[in-house]
Amino acid sequence: MYTAVTSGIKISVRTRFEPGFSAPLKNYYHYSYTILIENNNDYPVQLLRRHWTITDANNKVREVEGPGVVGLQPVILPGATHTYSSACDLSTLLGKMCGTYLMKRLEDESEFRVKIPEFKLRVPYQLN
């Protein structure tokens, strides 16, 4: 598991290679990831936007930016969590992702960025 904490928001990431959705002979590798967002503050926050940097083993970089996560802009109360799953495809066996969330403190409407830790995307049999 990959973890980072920024301004009282803890982000934890688990990844998984999805062989049933992949086509290695066509250089298509599908990965899923699950993210747990924990609000360890004493005020509620709302996740407004996401920004991803996705890098494959050939150092090809893609940027993904947009509102919320999987169609939601969740409000996370103090001490509460929000979990979601999503996916990414690469043309290589290995890659990595990292990024940020734009969050808003609901008590004063101020915005701040939260780091999403860099995490690896890899085909398990490639590590043997």
Looking at residue 126, its pLDDT comes to: 60
Answer yes or no: is 79 within a domain: yes
- Cβ 56 vs Cβ 95: under 8 Å: yes
pTM of the model: 0.93
What are the φ and ψ backbone dihedral angles of 125, each rounded to 5 degrees? -70, -15
Domain containing 47: what range? 2-118
Number of structural domains found in the chain: 1
Three-state DSSP at 101 gives: strand
56 within 8 A of 87, measured Cβ to Cβ: no
Q: In the β-sheet with 9-17, what is the strand arrangement from edge to edge?
A: 2-6, 9-17, 29-39, 81-90
**pLDDT tens digits, 56-92:** 999 999 999 999 999 999 999 999 999 999 999 999 9
127 belongs to a structural domain = no
Note the pLDDT of residue 127: 52
pLDDT at 128 over 50: no
Res. 15: pLDDT tops 70: yes
pLDDT tens per residue across span 98-118: 999 999 999 999 999 999 999
